[in-house]
Amino acid sequence: MSTSPVGSPEEGQLSENEFRDRLRELPPSAKLVAKVLEGEAPLSQGGLAEESLLPDRTVRYALNRLEEEGLVESRYSFKDARKQVYFLTV
């Protein structure tokens, strides 16, 4: 991640400091999922489970926590519209 904000506040982007402050309060599984997304985004839930070596259920929990904090967003995959892919908001 860069040290400067990626977008303006109007666009809903978080600064890196705000991103890290929110992430700091989350469980280790959410931190690991965020770290994987930092280098490999966008990824599906299955892709995140494969890359992080976490069980699907743990990845789902981590993604829910990250989404609640506004740190991760999702969209439908261009390759397979049945799947969603996840990416960081910073």
Q: How far is CA 69 from the centre of its chain?
A: 10
- pTM of the prediction? 0.81
**Whole domain around residue 82: which residue ranges?**
13-88
- Judge whether 32 lies within some domain: yes
Token output for 11: 């666009």
| List of the chain residues with pLDDT < 50 | 1-10
- Judge whether 23 lies within some domain: yes
pLDDT at residue 62, as a whole number? 97
Structural domain total, the chain: 1
- Judge whether 17 lies within some domain: yes
Q: How many CB atoms lie within 10 A of CB 24?
A: 8
- Judge whether 78 lies within some domain: yes
pLDDT at residue 15, as a whole number? 87
- Judge whether 5 lies within some domain: no
pLDDT at residue 12, as a whole number? 60
CATH code of the domain containing 58: 1.10.10.10
pLDDT at residue 2, as a whole number? 38
